[in-house]
Amino acid sequence: MSRERPDAGMQKLPAGVHWTRRVGNRVAIGACVLATAIVVLPLALLIVRLLESGLRDLSLDFFLHMPKPVGELGGGMANAIVGTLIVVGIGAVIAVPVGVAAGVYLAEYGRERLTTVVRYTADVLAGAPSIVVGVAVFGLLVVPMGRFSALAGGVALAVLMLPTIVRATEEVVRLVPASYRQAALALGAPSWVATMRVVLPAARAGVTTAALLAVARASGETAPLLFTALGNRFWTTRVDQPIATLPVMIYDYARAPYSDWNAQAWTGALTLLVLVTVLSALMRVATQRIR
């Protein structure tokens, strides 16, 4: 927003204005400033504490070592970090192609009746509590497979990524000027070539942003992983086995009655937040550049 506004505090009210209105003006504007400060305050407090407690135990060991048995100090969350990457990777591999394709469909075939239904379901999915998704995927995958698995965790995350990808892809594909497509068609390209070679590449930055945003959000999710990926104190990269993930491990370590585990939970949280916010911040910069 580049709209210029005079600084409200500096507004010169004419001499005839009654003092109650003057005071009211100041109070109302002051209240808004105060409200903003209060909204931002928790962020500051949280970041300060997270850096303070998270950096205290930070060492290379945390990233390279396995969790130690109860009672032994030290150790790291190497398995959970890798596990998060695997589970989020599975989610992305499922959700990105499907989501982008569905988004393109909504943007390019907007007149078909199916689009209304799909758009609505994407909205429903976007509003579904993540714990409900976890519960449902437990019933759909964990029960038939007979065990918790990285695969089930990935599928749960994929379901959470889908709506963001679908809707954002639709938005950015719609932004591609119609003349691009028309030019491609006029040159004799079939419709699908126009979409794949002209429209999608033009929207590439936006689609990538959408996908990464969804992945970033999903990588911080805990609730859907509790009953799907479960957790694991040992090293595994098998997708049909329970797997440790950073958010679930933070949860377990935060609840544990051992202070060294609690301390590691902070380091884990800092790692997770860096992972998520660096991705989201990159997204934001990227989106601003497109617009």
Partner 1 sequence: MSAGAPTRATAFVASRTPSRDESRRFSADDAFALALRIASLAVLAAVLLLVWQTVRGAAPALHAYGPAFLTGTEWNPVAERFGALPYVVGTLVTSAIALLLAVPFGIGAAVFLSEIAPPRTGAVISFMIELLASIPSIVYGLWGVFVLAPFLRTLVEPWLIKHLGFLPLFQGFPFGLGILPAGLVLAIMVVPTVTSVSREILRALPDSLRGAALALGATRAEAIGVTLDAARPGILGAVILALGRALGETMAVTMLIGNTNHMSWSLLGPGATMASVIANEFTEAVGKLHLAALFEVALVLFVVTLIVNAVARLIVLTATGGRRDVAGAA
Q: How far apart are CA 1 and CA 64, in angstroms?
A: 45
Taking CB under 8 A as the criterion, which residues in 121-150 touch partner 1?
A: 121-133, 135-136, 138-140
Cβ 289 to partner 1 shortest distance, Å: 15
- The answer to whether the CB of 264 falls within 8 A of the CB of 251 is no
- Residue 51 interacting with partner 1 (CB under 8 A): no
Taking CB under 8 A as the criterion, which residues in 55-94 touch partner 1?
A: none
Cβ 71 to partner 1 shortest distance, Å: 22
Task: Report the residue from 81, 92, 107, 215 that binds partner 1 according to the rule CB under 8 A.
Answer: 107
| Binding piece for partner 1, criterion CB under 8 A, among 42-50, 56-64, 66-74, 75-83 | 42-50
Task: Report the residue from 226, 229, 243, 244 that binds partner 1 according to the rule CB under 8 A.
Answer: 226
- Residue 40 interacting with partner 1 (CB under 8 A): yes
Task: Report the residue from 147, 182, 197, 234 that binds partner 1 according to the rule CB under 8 A.
Answer: 182
Task: Report the residue from 151, 207, 214, 269 that binds partner 1 according to the rule CB under 8 A.
Answer: 269
Return the number of the residue (82 or 229) whose C-beta is nearest partner 1: 229
- Residue 188 interacting with partner 1 (CB under 8 A): yes
